[in-house]
Chains A and B, each alone.
Chain A
Amino acid sequence: MKWLQRQANPYRWTGDWSQLLDGDLAYSFGRSPATVVAAGVTLIFFIAAVFAPWVAPHDPFDIATLDLNDAFLPPVWQGETGSWTYPLGTDGQGRDVLSTIVYATRISLTVGVLAVLLAAVLGGGLGLLAGYVGGWFDALVMRLADIQLTIPAILAALMIDGIARLVLPAGDQDVLAIYVLILAIGISEWPGYARVIRGVVMAESGKDYVSAARVIGIHPVSIMLRHILPNVMGPMLVLASIGLALAIIAEATLSFLGVGVPPTTPSLGTLIRVGDDFLFSGEWWILLFPAFALVALVLAVNVLGDWMRDALDPKLR
């Protein structure tokens, strides 16, 4: 708990890492093997995504290095043609499957993280205002959230995506696709954040420290940002970690459906779609490895998010 508080007030960083390791958070972390594994897996994916050009053995998008003769090679342990050059095999165009997974993870995580950020800022901001101000604004925001919640998130994202395609000029669509996707997924997720944050804000607003600030005449905006917002960060973090998993899945779904990222910058979902065609014709590795990667990533993020909620919640009360 203490480490979170130190983060909340960065000017006061006392710099003692030993206390971090000694704290209750670290203790509950170490106690649960599933969480440690999940954290490790997530870390690996993040590093792979950030350092893709250095991590991936090949650059799958450099057409010059592709050799069609290397197409459809099986993974290293399979058959006579498998080799360590392409540990997980190659796809129909001679691209190294492992490398494509690394680059695709980069896309998936970028979209996921930015979408969550958008949803958190939008939903959290609206929730903060609605909870503190109350009245008709609160009712308006909550009804909008209710309306949006009746639409399945994927459908909402599809709709936003469709509108964007109508509006944007055809030539730019590929370049902008990733931003449209982030926008679509982000907007489809905001109600969840808004509701939870609003609840927390309403609870905190009733507390005496807020009254004490009002007694000395502190401006409501200042109270919201300096008093209430720091107390909202905990639940926000929990939502964001679970939300990341959802966003990644959403992006994968949209890309699988063909309305996500363009094929030139494939994400894990795109890879799955491409690989789908080859599953029953014998080149199973083109589908299965990206699919495993997606499952592993989402599972790891989910487990981490679960642990975070359990570790932070009782103390946040």
Chain B
Amino acid sequence: MNEHASSSINRTPLVEVRGLSRHYPVSVPWLGRLFGGQSHKVLRAVDDVSFLLESGATFGLVGESGSGKTTIARLLVGLDRPTRGQILFNGTDIGTVASRQDMAGLRRNWQMIFQDPYSSLNPRWRVRDSVAEPIRAFGLADSRKGVDERVTELLVQVGLAPGDADRYPHEFSGGQRQRVAVARALASVPRFIVCDEPTSALDVSVQAQILNLMKDLQRRHGLGYVFISHDLAVVKHMADTIGVMYLGRLCEVSSARDLLSTPKHPYTRLLLEAMPGLNPSGTRRALVRGEPPDPISPPTGCGFHPRCPLADERCRRERPTTILSESTLVACHAVEEGRLK
């Protein structure tokens, strides 16, 4: 579970993402363009992203708002279609699946847990019905009684009481609702779960409960997670491999331990510096000025260059291609040229 990608070259990864891109056309309607002299504009929410997830492991995706991590989450579970690139599940490209039947069969393998516990459950449905929905959709139980038994089993697994099945979401706290969401995600016995900021809306002590629960379930069922968060400490706790996103691109991918002990990409370093830590060492290094840029008109070349202390002419012109060294990726000219201190 904690192996690096290099040691599993011979095994097909559970999920592989290749060159994934999602572009949104955001131009002003053509009349406006004609008179305003504006060109076509494209929002590159996700731009040429590649990574893999091993069975039973956790891939963490970290980034600030606008980095594209939520878009990747939606692309992975089929809520959105990519503009370019492929998503492979166990070697099968899910974009090429033609029949509804086959796609329905594939969908069993993944699930998603959402950020907002207050909108991820239908307020008019009882908990039982929300958790049973995947069971019914995939025909995983043969009778009403079978469904009820499975629902009870799932609720107990996530730390709720069997009697909770008959209650409505508004009767629960945020943390409990998130447990229900986890139960629902487990109901179809998926191979991996995409978790989009699952604990960001929760209090710290509740977060600890949910994170522990998720780890326990992962071990028990051999689940893979794609764990998305803006909180680097949480991602580090959960993930084996971490990918750092900026402006829709991956700047760095590395094992969790390495990313935090020896961060290479300047943006990763910025994130680590900027995070308020519980044991601040006093003064911080010079804080990078500047605001996160506008994703519709991103900087040329390397998207990070306006805020990067190591930016040079090449960074302004050329987009860094990812370099692989062992099992890591770093998209940075400075690193490539050995200019990193």
- The short answer to whether A and B are in direct contact, CB under 8 Å, is yes
Whether a CB of chain B sits under 8 angstroms from the CB of A31 is no
B47: min CB distance to chain A, Å: 23
**Bound form: Cα–Cα A214–B125 in Å:** 16
What 0/1 pattern do residues 124 to 135 of B give for CB contact below 8 A with A?
Answer: 111000100110
**A50 part of interface (Cβ distance < 8 Å):** no
> Is there contact, CB below 8 Å, between B119 and A208?
yes
> How far does the alpha carbon of A1 sit from the alpha carbon of B170 in the complex, in Å?
11
* Bitwise interface map of A from 3 to 19 toward B, beta carbon under 8 Å scored 1, else 0: 00100110010000000
Within 8 A of A (CB), among B172-205: 181, 184, 188
List residues of chain A with CB within 8 A of the CB of B107: 215-217
> Which A residues are in CB contact (< 8 Å) with B125?
9, 227, 230
**Cβ-defined contact, B122 with A216, below 8 A:** no
CB-based nearest B residue for A1: B170
Q: With an 8 A cutoff between CB atoms, is B241 at the interface? A: no
B77 at interface, CB cutoff 8 A: yes
Give the Cβ gap from B170 to chain A, nearest Cβ, in Å: 8
The chain A residue with its CB closest to the CB of B113 is A212
A213 to B125, CA, bound (A): 13
Q: Does B103 contact A (CB under 8 A)?
A: yes
B104 proximal to A (CB < 8 A): yes
A216 touches B137 (CB 8 A): yes
Complex Cα distance A8/B104, Å? 29
Given contacts A217-B137, A218-B137, contact A231 B111 (CB under 8 A): no
How many Å lie between the Cα of A2 and that of B123 in the bound state?
11
A137 in contact (CB, < 8 A): no
Across the interface, B78 reaches (CB within 8 A) one of A208, A215, A227, namely A215
Residues of A within 8 A of B111 (CB): 215-216
Inter-chain contact A209/B122, CB cutoff 8 Å: yes
The reply to whether B77 and A227 contact each other, CB–CB distance below 8 Å, is: no
Q: Does B322 contact A (CB under 8 A)?
A: no
A65 contacts chain B at the CB level, 8 A cutoff: no
Q: How many residues of A contact B (CB 8 A)?
A: 20
- Contact status of A209 and B134, CB under 8 A, knowing A8-B124, A217-B107, A230-B124: no
B101, chain A: closest CB distance, angstroms: 11
Is the pair A227, B122 in contact by a Cβ cutoff of 8 Å? yes
Interchain CB contact under 8 A, B133 and A216: yes
B121 is an interface residue with CB less than 8 A from chain A? yes
Q: Which of A5, A9, A12, A208 contacts B114 (CB 8 A)?
A: A208
Asked if A211 is at the interface of the complex by the 8 Å CB criterion, the answer is: yes
A212-B184, A216-B107, A216-B188 known; A5 vs B124 contact (CB < 8 Å)? yes
Query: When A208-B114, A209-B130 are in contact, do A215 and B120 touch as well, CB less than 8 Å?
Result: no
One of A2, A5, A211 near B112 (C-beta < 8 A):
A211
Chain A contact residues: helix, strand, loop or mixed: helix
Number of interface residues of B (CB under 8 A): 32
Which of B124, B133, B137 sits near A231, CB closer than 8 Å?
Answer: B124
With beta carbons under 8 angstroms apart, the residue of B103, B115, B121, B138 that contacts A209 is B121
Q: How far is the CA of A231 from the CA of B170 in the complex (A)?
A: 14
Q: Which residues of B contact A215 (CB under 8 A)?
A: 77-79, 107, 110-112
Residues of A223-270 at the interface with B, using a CB-CB cut-off of 8 Å, are 227, 230-231
Instruction: Tell me how many residue pairs across A and B have CB atoms closer than 8 Å.
Output: 64
In the complex, are the beta carbons of A9 and B79 less than 8 A apart? no
Asked if B137 contacts A208 (CB within 8 A), the reply is no
- B168–A5 touching, CB < 8 Å: yes
Are B126 and A211 closer than 8 Å at their CB atoms? no
Assembled-state Cα–Cα distance A244/B93 (Å): 55
Q: List A contacts of B119 (CB < 8 A).
A: 207-209
Question: Are A209 and B78 within 8 A (Cβ)?
Answer: no
Q: How far, in Å, is A136 (CB) from chain B's closest CB?
A: 16
Which chain B positions have C-beta within 8 A of A8? Answer: 124
When distances are taken between beta carbons in the complex, the residues of chain B under 8 Å from A5 are: 124, 168
A214 in contact with B126 (CB, 8 Å): no
Contacts of A231 in B (CB 8 A): 122-124
Q: Report the minimal beta-carbon distance from A3 to chain B, rounded to whole angstroms.
A: 12
Which B residues, 154 to 173, have Cβ-Cβ distances below 8 Å to chain A? 166, 168, 170
Looking at B121, B123, B124, the one whose CB has the most chain A CB atoms below 10 A away is B124
Q: Known interface pairs A207-B119, A231-B122, A231-B124. Does A213 touch B79 (Cβ–Cβ under 8 Å)?
A: no
**Nearest chain A residue, comparing its CB with the CB of B196:** A208
CA gap between A12 and B165 in the complex, in Å:
12
> Quick check: is B116 within 8 A (CB to CB) of the other chain?
yes
**Are B77 and A9 closer than 8 Å at their CB atoms?**
no
Complex contacts, A209 vs chain B, CB 8 Å: 119-122, 130
**B116 pairs with A208, CB closer than 8 A:** yes
- Chain A residues, CB < 8 A from B166: 12
List residues 171-213 of chain A with CB under 8 A from any CB of chain B. 207-209, 211-213
Cα distance A142–B111 when bound, in Å?
36
Closest to B166 in A: A12
Q: Which of B79-125 contact A (CB under 8 A)?
A: 79, 103-104, 107, 110-112, 114-116, 119-125
Measured between beta carbons, the chain B residues less than 8 angstroms from A212 are 112, 114, 120, 133, 181, 184
B131 to chain A, nearest CB (A): 11
A231–B184 Cα distance when bound, in Å, is 20
Residues A218 and B114 in contact, CB atoms below 8 Å apart:
no
Chain B: CB-nearest residue to A218: B137
CB-CB < 8 A to B123: which residues of A? 231
Contact residues in B for A216 (Cβ distance below 8 Å)? 107, 111, 133-134, 137-138, 188
Given the complex of chains A and B, what is the CA–CA distance between A12 and B120 in angstroms?
A: 22
Q: How far is the CB of B230 from chain A (nearest CB, A)?
A: 18
A residues with CB within 8 A of B: 1-2, 5, 8-9, 12, 207-209, 211-218, 227, 230-231
The list of the 4 closest CB pairs from A to B, nearest first, reads A208-B120, A230-B124, A208-B114, A207-B119
A215-B78, A216-B107, A227-B125 given; name 7 further pairs at CB < 8 Å.
A1-B170, A209-B119, A212-B112, A212-B133, A217-B137, A227-B122, A230-B124
6 A–B contacts, CB within 8 A, in A order: A5-B168, A9-B125, A212-B184, A213-B133, A215-B79, A231-B122
